[in-house]
Structure 1
Amino acid sequence: MLGGERFWSRSSTRAEKLRAVRGLGALGGVAGVLVALMLLPTACTAGVGARDAADWFEDEPEGLTTSGVPQRSKILAADGSTIATFFYENRVDVPLDRISPDARRAVLAIEDSRFYEHGAIDSKGTLRALVSNMGSGEVTQGGSGITQQYVKNLLLTQADNAAEKRAAKEISPARKIRELKYAVALEKRYSKDEILRRYLNIAYYGAGAYGIEAAARRYFSKPAARLTLNESALLAGVVRYPHAYDPTQHPRAAKDRRDTVLTRMADLGWIDRARADAEKRRPLGLKVKEVHSGCVTSEAPFFCDYVQHEILTNAVFGATPKDREKLLKRGGLTIRTTLDRRTQRAAQRAVDRHVPRKNSAHKAAAEALVRPGTGEILGMAVDRRLGPDRQRGKTWINFAADASHGSSIGMQAGSTFKAFTLAAALEQDLPFGTRLMAPRGFTPVGFRDCKGRRVGDPDASLRNSADGEGGRSFSLVTGTHHSVNTFFLNLERRVGLCDTVKMAERLGMRQANGKAMEQYPSFTLGFNPVSPLRLAAAYAAFGARGRYCEPVAISRITDASGRRLKVPSAHCKQVLDRGVADAVNHVLRGVLTNGTARGMALGRPAAGKTGTVDDFSAAWFAGYTPELASAVWVGDPRGGYRHPMESLCMDGRCYGAVFGATIPAPIWRDTMLAALSGVPGSAFHRPPAHYFSLGSGEDPPKRKKADKGRKGKKDRKDRRDRGHGDDPPREEPPPPGPDGPGGPGGPGATPTPDPGRPA
């Protein structure tokens, strides 16, 4: 019988034995009920009352269900390999033919050797146990058969609260009668083989292992189908008192119990005596394997955590958070995800190489990768381990995702937002050769948000970080390649702030906290806090010729019965004309060859944009090919403005000021080269001819100048462009608050959110 009974050693005193007899006497009512129930068929001739009682006992009980047994769920990568498991109870349900015959025989021998001969109630076994217990003065034998034990485990497992658990474990006639009634019903409903299978899959084997498959993996690192006789006898013996016979905690008791099982099998003639004796001489042979629930030990911990949040927060998986958690940890789900293990390894190696987990400067990095045209998240890497933030090199915050999927409030994205202004301009059919003045100082006036309100500050002046970039005109192409702030502010004013914002929104952009983006003139300079995942998905739409897809991490889910569940859709749609997307790709390709990320080309068609946040508080790079898009953030989790990346030295490497091309772009390049190795490259499409109506937009080659002073100045500028190349606004004030001039959202009321501060 399973645990819960009291027992005494044979060395007990006479007084203890008398107490044991009195204890058995207290159970006399139960025993009497059992005997009376077993004799009901005979009593049927005695009168209607007995017949009615028998009819009640034979009727199917109301509410009898065998569902609700917790099964562990697993998260799989796209190739089917397991990246994490979740469970309340570590259980893996298997069919009977995947449990070794030795294991089946061992359990039957020690628990219910006449299982295939009796019905739901083993009258002979119950009476034998009763006589044995009364004769010895202690409970030495249990009378419950396999079916009754299955019922007891089932009721305990289905209990949702403490009261139901107490009712399932209490020693009372009412509980025993209910179990017997259920056992009779189940013997009618299922075959003996099926009942045995269900029992072997529900029983507790100690050390957190529920069911024989989980126990085989836990203790011997093998499936139940491959259990030997020695191993089978050990597991069969554990079931009665899992804590007392746990071989990892009590190896001597476990061995004695195993030998008892082997002796019993020999007594029954199921194995010969010589074999039993030989098996008794064997060591336990444990090969313990720890099984962890959750994402902490996963090879892709932050992607795993993203999937977990997706299930726990999405109403597709249940009406309430409790329902969704129950589904994940009890539902036996097989969750096939979009994770590409090669891409994930490439991203993690690149992030860890450039920003080590326990780096001396306390900086952090995160990268998200999305497949264009599908929204599939192929990788997600953070240069930390998943765990308590108080431990160096660990964090619970997923810097690659939004707050809803990882607690991050996001980070300001800097000049990567200029791509949205560029796309809005190209959608208005501005040719590549369109030229605008980039003043040294820009006064943010003449802007209206999408509600028609004036926004801006006539007393402010936004500038470029490099004096040489202001005071002249640029084309759409050269202004983008050199990431000129005042050029893009001027372009945004011409295109319209609202049109620029709507372009970003069509491409899936929103603040990491889930709110709509704030609308101020510096929108194009990227003051809104966003996540790398959102930015990667937006740039993936450029690579997919204007087809935007919401990021998705789950491709398919089946429950324990094999039924497919509904999963979130990417909701792909064409949000940008293909020709406009082709024109964006044409311009952004030059960033890698002639612009701020010069030297970061991949040797295949690729495009991207650097981003440096003001005061060097964070740096970004977002880039893509037609096959893969990625966004990389580097910053300081303690607060980017309090700990800027200026004169940065990290683990012996010094960078000076960190721009988008300094660390983020090399992370992106290393990741893409490894992830796309061996993958044929696709070409971008040529933009429509009308974009060339004013020429290519490229500046003509400059003549060589003899003046060495000027040449030296130009060389210094070229080195700056090659090495860092982005233009963060050095004197940009915080985004306007609600109380200043210029209508709602005037200057000075609310500071810009700190890009590195976690929620």
Structure 2
Amino acid sequence: MCRMEAEQGIGRAVAARRLAGYGMLAGLLAGLLALPLACTAGVGARDSADWLLSEPLDLDDLQAPQRSQILAEDGSLIATFYRQNRVDVPLEKISPVARQAVLAIEDYRFYEHGALDSKGTLRALMSNLNSSDDTTQGGSGITQQYVKNLLYMNAESEEEKLEAVATTPARKLRELRYAVAVERRHSKDEILEKYLNIAYFGDGAYGLEAAARRYFSVSAAKLNLNQAATLAGILKNGNQYNARLNGEGARNRRDIVLDRMAELGWITWRKAEEEKKKPLVLDLTETKNGCTESKAAFFCDYVQREILTNPIFGKTKEERERLLWIGGLKIRTTLDWKTQNAAHKALLRHVPARNKEKKAAAQVLVEPGTGEIKGMDVGRELGPDEKPGKTWINFAADASHGTSVGMAAGSTFKAFTLAAAFDEGMPIGERITAPVAYAPTGFRDCKGKNVSDTTQLRNSSDGEGGRSFSLLTGTWHSVNTFFLKLEKEVGLCDTVKMAKKLGIRRADGKPLQEYASFTLGFNDVSPLRVAAAYAAFGARGKYCEPIAIKQINRADGKKIKVPSANCEQVIDKGVADAVNHVMAGVLTKGTARGLALGRPAAGKTGTVDNYSAAWFAGYTPELASAVWVGDPRGGYSHPMTNVCLPTHCGGPVYGASIPGPIWRDTMAEALRGVKATGFSRPPSHFFRKGSGEDHVRMPDLRGLKPEEAIRRLKAMNMDHRISSAEIHSRYPEGTIAETSPGPGTSIDPGDSGITVVLTVSKGEERQDDPPFGDGDDDNPFGPDLPFPRTPFTEPFFTFTG
């Protein structure tokens, strides 16, 4: 009731404005000063005065909207987010002439009065009564203008915004109350700094620093007199005097500011006239907003969605949006530009953004042991899907971070069956006969439900059947029927559990589907999930949730909690070592031979049923990556057959056709200059049935220097020892005289029970010594054939079955 009476009293006083200048001012001030007396019938004069002079409870919560920045790992800018383009700077980083220009036209007595400038209000009133619109002066001082801006910018509804700018006594009274509190809390310099950082200068620029960059491409610290006067003039009405859209109006306002500065004696009249003769010269800089024009657009979009969807950043969607768009965050991410640029370049080299086949590709790179996403790209621009070469869908991520529902991952899932087999102690040399076709019966899911299938599945895409394979060769040749039988032996549920332990989940957020063909990769997943799972192999069984954010600081420097990678040892190191050992051979002897990096690496091809898509997932101990290539319109209706792209034209696309080379090109560039680390050798019990390789013939090492013979045995993964006894032979002294097993013996080079014994020659026997042997029995080429000049003539690997 008291406030209502006060507002009515002030309203009557303000109404006097229609009469005459002095009368209006006297009425207004009398109304303000008489408030305590008017309230005596209610809460009392002292309480009313206390209310006016008390600090508002929400003052600490009022903050000017700040723009947030997403930064790469090295601190460089990825993207900026803002509702208001604002860059806060300290007062000392605003040129003195710019401060003078603003004070001259807005509140030249700012340092002399308190929250209410009665003298300034009177001066403004008299000036306004006798001047044109362009020269009208505001009655509010800078403190009140700061408060007005602050209240408006913190208004969350249209009603609150209208209330913040309404020309009513109630609004003025509220504004004055906040101004009194601000003046109590802060020095004049601090208030001026806050005002110069919040005021609107038109064309989307809030604050003097953003305005200086927008109109003149300089910092506020480097503004000259002409530029400063121009910006100070815009303050009257940022929309009306927008220097880009209304150059003439902005120039007129500039001249008024210059004249005012001369009137106050802050510059000479001569200087003012010189500046007024100059044309208005703009040098515009546009501050990009959001991810669409970022050089890492899809990674940026992933980070944006992480903040907008993760409850760690706010309980409601509205809270999270405010945090990102007006919170002034410095978001330091995991992105490595070297890796990101390598991925982008490789994707476009093999699958251009605009290709007549309308195919697309996506890649994610994750650091083993940390889960940090080092690169993410789709090879297109982020934008409307109807435009060529653009898409809003982040095919690299899950639906929660890019609206993609995922893609079938094909044979990349075989790695999880392999890991499950090793986890159950199965040796590398374990052999399974893989038929040409196989009907997967006898399978049960994790709930015990029969999920068998009587449909005959074949090896049409990734490998051949009809013979025996070990875990090593079955993986190298990616034999479908082999892995179906291996999955049955391991157990479908155990395979599914292994995939889950390694972070695999459907991109649409639904549970993994558990059917017999799980190992063939029919579940729709994202490259991000596959890359993170393979990174766990590279980290010797340590799985880390993929993360994109390392640190977030608020505008005041305080840190915000960010999602953790929650790294955990999910499989035994030895199991991971065995997987690495097997999948390393895929790059040299399997479906991806020719894609080796020249450093320890492992991987797996993935060709999806009916060539609906192709994948490659590979890793080193330093970096893991997954690549998908397919058709956004639908892989089954638009299969990867008879496509013509820059590096592949005609025929079906396999995992090694396009995805593999994208992976190789990216990894080679991303790891350039990075010290290579080797994989650890698997525990010996995994070799209890041999190396798993098809049997080879023991090479003829006779006549070679011991170091050369040892080098060749190591290349075949065969153990060796040098016999302590030397013998006479036809081979030169110091070379190998004989081996056990002998040349041509069919052996498994990784059989832990076989050690090749090398015996060194003492040279030919002297004539007076007893004869050696029976003459030529030690010559495998027969008594009538000379020893070959180059003893090692057979290939290392002669397959016998």
Q: TM-score, normalised by structure 1?
A: 0.86
| Alpha-carbon offset, residue 29 of structure 1 | 9.2
1:526 aligns with 2:545: no
1:176-255 superposed matches below 5 A: 176-255=172-251
Q: 1:30 to 1:611 in 2, by over 3 A?
A: farther
Distance 2:647 2:688 in 1: 51
Q: Is the deviation greater in 460-469 or in 281-290?
A: 460-469
What per-residue deviation string (whole Å, max 9, x for no partner) do you get for residues 548-567 of structure 1?
00000000001111110000
Helix, strand or coil: the match of 1:454? coil
Distance 2:555 2:593 in 1: 52
| Alpha-carbon offset, residue 265 of structure 1 | 1.3
Distance 2:85 2:233 in 1: 19
Aligned residues: 681
CA RMSD of the aligned region, Å?
A: 2.4
| Alpha-carbon offset, residue 141 of structure 1 | 2.2
Match of 2:571 in 1: 576
Counterpart of 1:36 (choices 25, 30, 38) is 30
Match of 1:742 in 2: none
| Alpha-carbon offset, residue 140 of structure 1 | 2.2
For residue 524 of structure 2, what is the amino acid of its counterpart?
A: P
Contact 1:234 1:257 in 2 (8 A): yes
Q: 1:374 to 1:421 in 2, by over 3 A?
A: same
Distance 1:264 1:103 in 2: 14
Q: 1:33 to 1:474 in 2, by over 3 A?
A: farther
Contact 2:647 2:658 in 1 (8 A): no
| Alpha-carbon offset, residue 170 of structure 1 | 1.1
What per-residue deviation string (whole Å, max 9, x for no partner) do you get for residues 44-99 of structure 1?
9x999877765543333454346232111110000001111111111122211121
Contact 1:100 1:226 in 2 (8 A): yes
Match of 1:480 in 2: 475
For residue 381 of structure 1, what is the amino acid of its counterpart?
A: D
Distance 1:281 1:173 in 2: 42
Distance 1:615 1:684 in 2: 35
Match of 1:546 in 2: 541
Counterpart of 1:510 (choices 491, 505, 508) is 505
What per-residue deviation string (whole Å, max 9, x for no partner) do you get for residues 412-469 of structure 1?
00000000011111111111111001001111111111111211123x1111117982
1:328 aligns with 2:321: no
Q: 1:150 to 1:33 in 2, by over 3 A?
A: farther
Match of 2:168 in 1: 172
| Alpha-carbon offset, residue 253 of structure 1 | 1.3
1:640 aligns with 2:603: no
1:364 aligns with 2:360: yes
Q: 1:127 to 1:690 in 2, by over 3 A?
A: same
| Alpha-carbon offset, residue 702 of structure 1 | 8.4
Q: 1:559 to 1:466 in 2, by over 3 A?
A: closer
Q: 1:481 to 1:269 in 2, by over 3 A?
A: same
Counterpart of 1:423 (choices 399, 419, 430) is 419
Helix, strand or coil: the match of 1:222? coil
Match of 1:496 in 2: 491
| Alpha-carbon offset, residue 284 of structure 1 | 2.7
1:267 aligns with 2:242: no
**% identical equivalent positions:** 64
Higher-Rg member (1/2): 2
Distance 2:111 2:632 in 1: 64
Helix, strand or coil: the match of 2:211? helix
Q: Which runs of 5+ in 1 are unaligned?
A: 1-20, 704-759
Distance 1:455 1:184 in 2: 75
Q: 1:455 to 1:468 in 2, by over 3 A?
A: closer
Match of 1:294 in 2: 290
| Alpha-carbon offset, residue 650 of structure 1 | 3.0
| Alpha-carbon offset, residue 224 of structure 1 | 1.4
Helix, strand or coil: the match of 1:225? helix
Contact 1:630 1:668 in 2 (8 A): yes
Helix, strand or coil: the match of 1:150? helix
1:624 aligns with 2:614: no
Tell me: higher relative CO, structure 1 or 2? Use CA pairs within 8 A at least 6 residues apart: 1
Match of 1:658 in 2: 653
Counterpart of 2:552 (choices 532, 547, 557) is 557
Distance 1:468 1:416 in 2: 14
Match of 1:111 in 2: 106
Distance 1:650 1:348 in 2: 16
Match of 2:380 in 1: 384
Counterpart of 1:348 (choices 334, 344, 348) is 344
| Alpha-carbon offset, residue 185 of structure 1 | 2.1
What per-residue deviation string (whole Å, max 9, x for no partner) do you get for residues 226-259 of structure 1?
2222211111110011112111001111112112
1:402 aligns with 2:426: no
For residue 492 of structure 1, what is the amino acid of its counterpart?
A: E
Match of 1:589 in 2: 584
Q: TM-score, normalised by structure 2?
A: 0.82
Q: 1:306 to 1:55 in 2, by over 3 A?
A: closer
Q: Which runs of 5+ in 2 are unaligned?
A: 1-14, 699-801
For residue 456 of structure 1, what is the amino acid of its counterpart?
A: S
Helix, strand or coil: the match of 1:447? coil
Counterpart of 1:126 (choices 105, 108, 121) is 121
What per-residue deviation string (whole Å, max 9, x for no partner) do you get for residues 487-511 of structure 1?
0111111111111110000000011
Distance 1:558 1:617 in 2: 44
Contact 1:440 1:467 in 2 (8 A): no
Counterpart of 2:676 (choices 653, 673, 681) is 681
1:142 aligns with 2:141: no
Distance 1:62 1:34 in 2: 26
Contact 2:93 2:220 in 1 (8 A): yes
Contact 2:553 2:560 in 1 (8 A): yes
Q: Is the deviation greater in 447-456 or in 572-581?
A: 447-456
What per-residue deviation string (whole Å, max 9, x for no partner) do you get for residues 394-413 of structure 1?
11100000000000000000
Contact 1:364 1:636 in 2 (8 A): yes
Contact 2:16 2:27 in 1 (8 A): no
Q: 1:457 to 1:39 in 2, by over 3 A?
A: closer
Distance 1:444 1:60 in 2: 76
Distance 2:293 2:182 in 1: 40
Helix, strand or coil: the match of 1:131? helix
Distance 2:481 2:37 in 1: 99
Contact 2:16 2:23 in 1 (8 A): no
Distance 2:24 2:584 in 1: 83
Helix, strand or coil: the match of 1:417? helix
Counterpart of 1:436 (choices 425, 432, 436) is 432
Counterpart of 2:445 (choices 449, 460, 474) is 449
| Alpha-carbon offset, residue 281 of structure 1 | 3.1
Helix, strand or coil: the match of 1:633? strand
Contact 1:361 1:651 in 2 (8 A): no
Contact 1:360 1:651 in 2 (8 A): no
For residue 558 of structure 2, what is the amino acid of its counterpart?
A: R
Contact 2:412 2:606 in 1 (8 A): yes
